[in-house]
């Protein structure tokens, strides 16, 4: 019977299965199993959880998640060339690893998971951001997941954890921090990947809050935040003109100076404004 020790190194896996990295799929692989285990540990206690992994590739992070004791891993991979490599891992963890060949943006694996669920991924950055926004804006809260542990381009990671007052602060920070405790838990240089990307990367851990930080209607909050940051250089009274005919009064009722700009407003202030705009 195959054992974990009989699995080939990831470099060998890539050679055996001829997994030359495809740029179109954002393939920058992690080949150091110590590193992938370290990332898996950032996802928290996995022993009682199903883990949804997006983009397992040759399976470095998948091995890390299983080695850290994940009850079960459901992995969604677009590139069919990776399936034989992932099958080798599945053989070592019978019944614990299931792989779906498909596009994570198109399939809904929810029915195949049993709560509690954690999500972990090293994804192409565009797909990662798109999925993050979807995971942060479900129809109901709490969402299907307890936590998200995701690799991003460092610049995107900085935007997720950004505080008011700087250029990085915007829609992503508010969306993420309103509903999650967000932390950068690891930084990785380009050389950590094969092939090396042009930019630095970081792992962000988002822990779902039972309740959002402050009360607000998610649709109104999302609309007002998008409008405010679409014209982030303008004063709020101008940027939010389309939100209500009496926007200056509403801003003041929410305790906000109409002459302020979007990046100066805290999440609490945006929520106060969303509540004010919900009034007739």
Is 127 a binding residue for ligand SAM by CB under 6 A? The answer is: yes
SS (H, E, C) 65-117: HHHCCCCEEEEEECCHHHHHHHHHHHHHCCCCEEEEECCCCCCCHHHHCCCCE
Specify the residue, 35 or 253, whose C-beta has the smaller distance to ligand SAM. 35
Phi-psi region of 175 (alpha: psi -120 to 50; beta: other; left: phi over 0): alpha
Rounded alpha-carbon distances, angstroms, from residue 205 to 29, 46, 94, 149: 20, 14, 28, 4
Task: Give me the least distance between CB of 174 and ligand SAM, in Å please.
Answer: 26
Is 49 a binding residue for ligand SAM by CB under 6 A? The answer is: no
Task: Give me the least distance between CB of 123 and ligand SAM, in Å please.
Answer: 5
Is 105 a binding residue for ligand SAM by CB under 6 A? The answer is: yes
Task: Give me the least distance between CB of 111 and ligand SAM, in Å please.
Answer: 18
Site string for ligand SAM, 65-84 (x = CB under 6 A): -----------xxxx--x--
Is 158 annotated for ligand binding? Answer: no
Rounded-to-integer distance, Cα 1 and Cα 135, Å:
39
Site for ligand SAM (CB under 6 A): which residue of 7, 27, 109, 113? 27
Rounded-to-integer distance, Cα 232 and Cα 212, Å:
24
Q: Is 48 helix (H, G, I), strand (E, B) or coil?
A: coil
Binding-site residue numbers for S-adenosyl-L-methionine are 28, 30, 55, 77, 103, 122
User: Which residues of the shown chain bind ligand SAM in the complex (CB under 6 A)?
Assistant: 25-30, 54-57, 60-61, 76-79, 82, 103-105, 122-124, 127
């Amino acid at each position: 019977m195959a054992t974990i020790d009989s699995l080939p190194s990831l470099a060998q896996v890539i050679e055996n299965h001829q997994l030359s990295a495809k740029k179109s799929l954002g393939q920058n692989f992690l080949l150091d199993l110590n590193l992938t285990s370290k990332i898996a540990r950032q996802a928290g206690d996995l022993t009682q959880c199903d883990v949804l992994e997006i983009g397992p590739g040759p399976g470095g992070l998948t091995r890390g998640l299983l080695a850290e004791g994940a009850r079960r891993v459901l992995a969604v991979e677009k590139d069919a060339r990776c399936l034989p490599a992932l099958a080798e891992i599945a053989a070592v963890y019978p019944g614990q690893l299931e792989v779906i060949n498909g596009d994570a943006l198109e399939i809904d694996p929810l029915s195949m998971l049993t709560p509690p669920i954690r999500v972990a991924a090293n994804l192409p950055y565009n797909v990662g951001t798109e999925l993050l926004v979807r995971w942060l804006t479900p129809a109901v809260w709490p969402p299907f997941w307890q936590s998200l542990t995701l690799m991003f381009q460092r610049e995107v990671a900085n935007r997720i954890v950004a505080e008011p007052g700087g250029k990085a602060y915007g829609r992503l920070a508010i969306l993420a921090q309103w509903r999650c405790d967000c932390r950068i838990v690891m930084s990785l240089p380009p050389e950590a990947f094969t092939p090396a990307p042009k930019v630095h990367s970081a792992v962000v851990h988002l822990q779902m809050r039972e309740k959002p930080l402050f009360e607000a209607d998610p649709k109104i909050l999302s609309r007002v935040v998008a409008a405010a940051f679409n014209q982030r250089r303008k004063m709020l009274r101008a940027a939010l003109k389309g939100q209500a005919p009496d926007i200056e009064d509403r801003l003041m009722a929410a305790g906000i100076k109409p002459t302020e700009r979007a990046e100066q407003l805290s999440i609490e202030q945006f929520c106060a404004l969303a509540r004010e705009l919900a009034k007739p």
